[in-house]
């Protein structure tokens, strides 16, 4: 692959304002080409791009196209920076009026040097907010696609889409469906801006001369944006897009104030303390209605609770480090007997594998989705009283660290991602409901109907109002059953379309819709009745042997005090709603005397950024 850096533009506005500036602050920059102006971290703008592409394992040659007016500047720069002087191409223009334009400059380089290879094109006078992105990721993604590649980024809030080339990108195929060069307001809702950073296949290079031959106006008026509009919108050529989690600014024809503004903004971002840790929490959930039908195209309602959580902390570091938890990932024991007891109760697998699997899948996802990640390392550590939430909390940290937005990884897809980490990478039995609630947080209604799951790959998820919820309680055994035993052979019976199981899953969905109405109407008596019905329906399908004696004992105990009760998940715990406050206190004592752990649920309300409900 060949790289061509374009620096042939005539920045007359910026050059004139620097020359006429009466503050004296910029007098030393008079006559300096745009690409050789100061950039981030004290480097010249072009220095950064040359350091980025100066890799023989990626590029066989790197060329620089400049104009006659500034040729001597770049010749001297090439000599000082070990850039091959013979690869500096002079397009012959001396003024803005006679300049060839970026498309013609690229075509000149290809024609004059008889290039017949894939080409990466970069504007060498472009400020890049992120000085650490990995250009090798761009090439790998380009190689994975059958056609051209355009780099884009998400506009800053202060940037107007009418000033940039805007792309509309298919989220599934990453194909650019439409390119709009400096669109007027209302033509598109996209905020994805293309920059002069492209990968072009060798068999597409001939389109450059074809495009130029069609242009009646002077070549200096022709932009790359017009070329891509023609190639994508008119010629219907497949072109793909890759997002970089950073901002770009072409110095182009901007004035001195814009240049200093963007330089200051991007430099400030680079100065942001890398040592400041990112800490994210994810919370456990309780299934209030419909479970376990989430795995059977049913409907459920569940809620995150602040009683149980996983907290992950990420801090930038020279190498990537995963820190073992002193309790969950023990490597030192008091004795062989100590090791035996801990291993028998907790097994051999702690939380470290969840961190590692999440990082692996995150890199894999971003590579496949065309999202380039910065070349930054980090240290991850965690604390938790509910290990299953570690994946969700880790993903939050990674997204914040790499500036991955909700558009890059939408919430429904994020839930699927978390589930895949557990099931595909670690072979942990898990359900989608838990991951959806961890992502959306709060009180969530979920519809996993077969039609939705097959058509869009995820269900319909709706956040419900959490205000004025009644006091729910939770009790659990010290040695809970696992998901595999609880689910028993129900899945096979469902796949075999056994009428009892199929009808039960439909009924779970109906109960969930009724519970949604009860929640909206604040009809807590009806909700309590529905919770009891949910348990009895589950019992009829799974039978007592599968539910386990410990779970049944807790249900029976709760009902002695008139409390609604059901299983909140796969087993080992019960969730209840007791509307009689006096009996609630008595019931708490009875559970404790029975050797169970009992607590009142504190719902986690994300909209309030705090916990809601009663303690």
Residue 613, token pair as written in the block: 């409900």
Q: What is the pLDDT of residue 478?
A: 74
Contact 195, 248 (CB under 8 A): yes
User: What is the Cα 344 distance to its own chain's centre?
Assistant: 37
pLDDT digits (tens, 9 = 90+) for 255-291: 788 888 878 877 776 555 556 899 999 999 999 999 8
Residue 84, token pair as written in the block: 């091959």
Q: What is the pLDDT of residue 146?
A: 87
Q: What is the pLDDT of residue 482?
A: 39
In degrees and rounded to multiples of 5, residue 331 shows phi and psi of: -125, -5
Q: What is the pLDDT of residue 222?
A: 82
Q: What is the pLDDT of residue 613?
A: 39
pLDDT digits (tens, 9 = 90+) for 351-409: 999 999 999 999 999 988 888 888 889 999 999 988 889 999 999 999 999 889 898 89
Contact 561, 456 (CB under 8 A): no
Residues involved in catalysis: 434
Fold of 2-269: Spore Coat Polysaccharide Biosynthesis Protein SpsA; Chain A (3.90.550)
pLDDT digits (tens, 9 = 90+) for 189-227: 999 999 899 999 999 999 999 999 888 765 566 889 999
In degrees and rounded to multiples of 5, residue 131 shows phi and psi of: -90, 10
Q: In 10 A of CB 607, how many CB atoms? A: 12
Secondary structure E strands in 137-277: 148-154, 165-169, 176-181, 192-200, 239-243, 248-250
Q: Which residues of the chain have pLDDT under 50?
A: 481-487, 610-615
Contact 457, 416 (CB under 8 A): yes
* Angstrom distance (rounded) from CA 231 to CA 42: 38
pLDDT digits (tens, 9 = 90+) for 402-431: 889 898 899 999 999 999 999 999 888 888
Q: What is the pLDDT of residue 474?
A: 96
Q: Is 193 left (phi over 0), alpha (psi -120 to 50) or beta?
A: beta
Residues of the chain with pLDDT > 70: what percent?
A: 95
The residues spanned by each domain of the chain are 2-269, 279-600
Q: What is the pLDDT of residue 129?
A: 77
Distance spanning both ends of the chain, measured CA to CA: 63
pLDDT digits (tens, 9 = 90+) for 548-568: 899 999 999 999 999 999 999
Contact 458, 412 (CB under 8 A): yes
Contacts of 307 (CB under 8 A, 6+ apart): 284, 474, 599, 601, 602
Fold of 279-600: Ribosomal Protein S5; domain 2 (3.30.230)
Q: What is the pLDDT of residue 271?
A: 54
Contact 87, 167 (CB under 8 A): no
């Amino acid at each position: 692959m060949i790289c061509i850096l374009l620096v042939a533009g005539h920045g007359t506005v910026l050059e004139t304002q620097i020359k006429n500036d009466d503050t004296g602050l910029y007098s030393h920059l008079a006559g300096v080409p745009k690409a050789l102006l100061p950039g981030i971290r004290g480097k010249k703008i072009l220095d950064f791009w040359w350091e980025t592409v100066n890799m023989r394992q990626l590029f066989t040659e790197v060329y620089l196209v400049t104009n006659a007016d500034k040729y001597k500047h770049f010749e001297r720069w090439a000599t000082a920076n070990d850039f091959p002087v013979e690869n500096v191409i002079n397009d012959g223009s001396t003024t803005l009026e006679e300049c060839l334009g970026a498309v013609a400059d690229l075509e000149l380089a290809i024609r004059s040097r008889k290039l017949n290879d894939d080409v990466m094109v970069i504007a060498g006078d472009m400020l890049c907010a992120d000085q650490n992105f990995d250009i090798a990721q761009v090439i790998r993604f380009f190689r994975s696609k059958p056609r051209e590649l355009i780099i884009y980024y998400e506009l800053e809030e202060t940037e107007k889409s009418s000033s940039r080339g805007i792309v509309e990108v298919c989220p599934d195929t990453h194909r650019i469906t439409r390119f709009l060069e400096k669109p007027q307001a209302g033509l598109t809702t996209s905020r994805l801006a293309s920059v002069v950073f492209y990968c072009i296949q060798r068999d597409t290079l001939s389109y450059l001369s074809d495009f130029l031959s069609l242009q009646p106006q002077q070549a200096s008026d022709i932009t790359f944006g017009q070329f891509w509009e023609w190639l994508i919108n008119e010629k219907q050529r497949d072109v793909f897009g890759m997002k970089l989690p950073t901002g770009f600014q072409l110095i182009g024809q901007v004035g001195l104030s814009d240049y200093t503004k963007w330089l200051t903004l991007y430099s400030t971002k680079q100065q942001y303390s890398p040592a400041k840790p990112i800490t994210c929490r994810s919370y456990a959930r309780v299934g209030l209605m419909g479970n376990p039908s989430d795995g059977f195209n049913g409907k459920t309602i569940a809620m995150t609770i602040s009683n149980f959580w996983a907290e992950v902390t990420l801090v930038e570091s020279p190498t990537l480090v995963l820190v073992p938890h002193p309790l969950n990932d023990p490597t030192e024991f008091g004795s062989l007997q100590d090791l035996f007891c801990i291993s028998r109760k907790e097994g051999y697998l702690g939380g470290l594998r969840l961190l590692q699997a999440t990082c692996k899948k995150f890199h894999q996802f971003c590579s496949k989705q065309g999202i380039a990640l910065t070349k930054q390392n980090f240290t991850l550590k965690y604390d938790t009283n509910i290990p299953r939430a570690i994946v969700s909390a880790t993903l939050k940290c990674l997204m914040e660290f790499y500036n991955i937005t909700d558009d890059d990884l939408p919430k429904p897809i994020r839930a699927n991602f978390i589930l895949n980490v557990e099931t595909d990478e670690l072979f942990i039995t898990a359900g989608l409901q838990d991951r959806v609630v961890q992502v959306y947080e709060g009180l969530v209604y979920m519809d996993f109907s077969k039609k939705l799951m097959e058509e869009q790959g995820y269900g319909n998820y709706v956040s419900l109002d959490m205000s004025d919820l009644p006091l729910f309680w939770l009790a659990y055994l010290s040695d809970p059953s696992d998901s595999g035993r609880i689910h028993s052979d129900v899945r096979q019976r469902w796949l075999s379309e056994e009428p009892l199981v199929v009808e039960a899953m439909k009924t779970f969905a109906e109960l969930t819709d009724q519970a949604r109405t009860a929640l909206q109407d604040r009809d807590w008596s009806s909700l309590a009745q529905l919770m009891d019905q949910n348990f009895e329906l589950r019992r009829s399908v799974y039978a007592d042997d599968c539910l386990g004696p410990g779970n049944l004992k807790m249900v029976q105990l709760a009902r002695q005090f008139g409390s609604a009760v059901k299983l909140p998940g796969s087993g080992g715990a019960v969730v209840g709603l007791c509307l009689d406050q006096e009996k609630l206190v008595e019931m708490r004592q009875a559970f404790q005397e029975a050797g169970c752990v009992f607590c009142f649920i504190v719902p986690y309300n994300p909209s309030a950024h705090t916990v809601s409900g009663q303690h």
